[in-house]
Structure 1
Amino acid sequence: MYGGFWDNLKNAFKHSDNSLYKLIAINLLVFLVVMVARVLMTIGGVGDLYSSALSYLMMPASVSRLIFQPWSILTYMFLHEGIFHILFNMLFLYWFGLLINQYLGSRKLANLYILGGLAGAVFYVWIYNLAPYFSGSVDSSLMLGASAGVFAVVVGAATLTPNTTFMLILIGPVKIKYIAIFYVILSFANSAGANAGGELAHLGGALLGFIYITQLRKGIDWGIPVQKVGIFFENFFASRKGVKVSYRKKKTSAGYGSTFSKSSKSSTPVTSSSDATQEEIDRILDKIAERGYEALNKEEKRKLFEFSKK
């Protein structure tokens, strides 16, 4: 990360290693667009059109409907209507996402969120179409929200560093494994209530978060396909010339290893405005691969930041 929260959020799309802020920014931007559309269309007397249009972005429980709007398995996980819904989702994503980003890096955080959202959607459709309790509401049930992806991040962080402690207001220090367990149990208890679809998606995301980290410890990264898609679009939209930094997975004994490949238009050392040579940048990137971005000192972060703008 390159600064405070708001600075990082404002510059979320200017850097390639801050998935946490990209995810938060996308959710906030979509929320604002939806809110403005809802108000204007309702005042304009076309509120029904707004509801109909929104339903095509929400996740349907009906398989027959999902076939005709397959994009909704992705769009639903960035969609919110209620202010408190998005507020709590983004707070949890930020708090627990910082841990994932610190230990595993930006790309694996994005992997967890997307895979958690997909797992939540699959679990939601599966249960709704199999359980007799939901048989009468399958065709009319729709779901939206980032909760499944957020639950994957929460449980993933708790699986990765279970004894990390958060200070909770009125409660005091609590290990994050107990926070995760509490919310999973709460979702299970409410899975037959008014928000059954959302709670089931929570459970699907939570299960994915646990499995993802346990598999990662064995050297198996379920997020590689998601990662490749992300890299493709990063490269597609990249306008930066000169140095290109790309990611590839490298298996290590701990299962978390990663490395970076560096290339430039010339094989000769390149000097940026920060007076950093290509050799120094290579050394900094190797350090990130071995120990994570947070292991860099301020001078190394400055050089990498200045060099990335070249």
Structure 2
Amino acid sequence: MNTGKSIINRRFRNNTYTNITLKLIIINAVVFLLTTYIAPRSAYYLAMIPSFVLHGYIWQFFTYMFVHGGFSHIFFNMLSLFIFGTMVEQRVGSKEFLLFYLLTGIVSGIISFLCYLAAGTNVILVGASGAIYGVLLMFAVFYPYARVFVFGLIPIRAPVLVVLYAFIELSSQVFGAGGNVAHLTHLSGLLFAYLYCRIRMKINPIDVWKRTM
């Protein structure tokens, strides 16, 4: 039967809440233990390294988002995933959230890879930040009145925080600030999440934020 929707924006059936966010956090924790304490050399096979990808390690576009560079890196990423991911998953359903999260991370990795390749740089890309930036944007779309306490002290509306982060990441990428932070991956996550909302969810984030300002 023709439902009038293309496969791009056809929603899942039985898209109930099964706490995928917690499962993702557990997987990240297990991979962190593996790559940090049990088999440190496995990080070279799981992280995204352009020269490795060119030699056939294409799974790194997927696995890099589960590898982290230290305790503070994984702690703050997983804290953000827990806070924002749980709310988004409850709103869109677990299957939709998992699809969104994984696609955002994979596309962010591919864009970063292509840019690193064009620039002739061979870096090691790790972390879930690209996907989490995307989750933050979708959180701001569904909960535009929510306030996020930056540093636990400064309350900022979620849409304002997204715009602020986008400006900081873009400025840092252009002017080369931020050291080893993957600003390009963060920007890619925000951009893909915006397109995901527009194309698949049929929601214009900017229109939502304009109505709530």
TM-score interval for Structure 1 and Structure 2 normalised by the shorter chain: 0.7 to 0.9
- Check if 1:151 corresponds to 2:133: yes
SS in 2 for 1:142: coil
1:282-297 equivalences under 5 Å are none
Aligned to 2:34: 33
- Check if 1:18 corresponds to 2:7: no
Which string of whole-angstrom CA distances, capped at 9 and with x for unpartnered residues, describes residues 274-295 of structure 1?
Answer: xxxxxxxxxxxxxxxxxxxxxx
Which string of whole-angstrom CA distances, capped at 9 and with x for unpartnered residues, describes residues 68-100 of structure 1?
Answer: 111111111101131110011111111111221
Distance change (3 Å), C-alpha of 1:67 and 1:155: farther
- Check if 1:162 corresponds to 2:144: yes
Distance 1:88 1:183 in 2: 15
Task: Give TM-score scaled by structure 1 length.
Answer: 0.54
Deviation at 1:19, TM superposition (A): 0.7
1:190-201 equivalences under 5 Å are 190-191=172-173, 192-193=176-177, 194-195=179-180, 198-201=182-185
Structure 1 counterpart of 2:61, from 73, 96, 101: 73
1:154-233 equivalences under 5 Å are 154-168=136-150, 169-171=152-154, 173-191=155-173, 192-193=176-177, 194-195=179-180, 198-218=182-202
Give the aligned residue type for 2:197: I
Aligned to 2:13: none
Distance change (3 Å), C-alpha of 1:175 and 1:55: same
Aligned to 1:292: none
Q: Is the Cα contact below 8 Å between 1:59 and 1:143 reproduced in 2?
A: yes
Deviation at 1:101, TM superposition (A): 1.5
1:94-113 equivalences under 5 Å are 94-113=82-101
Deviation at 1:16, TM superposition (A): 7.5
Give the aligned residue type for 1:195: N
Distance 2:84 2:132 in 1: 9
Give the aligned residue type for 2:64: Y
Distance 1:16 1:217 in 2: 18
Which string of whole-angstrom CA distances, capped at 9 and with x for unpartnered residues, describes residues 138-188 of structure 1?
Answer: 2x31211111111111112113332222344222x3211112222222222
Aligned to 2:210: none
Say which structure, 1 or 2, has more relative contact order (CA 8 Å, 6+ apart).
2
Distance 2:37 2:197 in 1: 38
SS in 1 for 2:68: coil
Instruction: Compare CA radii of gyration and give the structure with the larger one.
Output: 1
Q: Which runs of 4+ in 1 moved over 6 A?
A: none
Q: Is the Cα contact below 8 Å between 1:158 and 1:180 reproduced in 2?
A: yes
SS in 1 for 2:69: coil
Distance 2:84 2:17 in 1: 20
Query: Any gaps of 5 or more consecutive residues in structure 2?
Result: 1-15, 204-213
Structure 2 counterpart of 1:91, from 79, 85, 88: 79
1:249-268 equivalences under 5 Å are none
Give the aligned residue type for 1:113: Y
The aligned length equals 184
Distance 2:92 2:17 in 1: 15
Distance 1:209 1:217 in 2: 10
Deviation at 1:117, TM superposition (A): 0.6
Share of identical aligned residues, percent?
Answer: 30
Q: Is the Cα contact below 8 Å between 2:19 and 2:86 reproduced in 1?
A: no
SS in 2 for 1:65: helix
Task: Give TM-score scaled by structure 2 length.
Answer: 0.77
Distance 1:116 1:67 in 2: 24
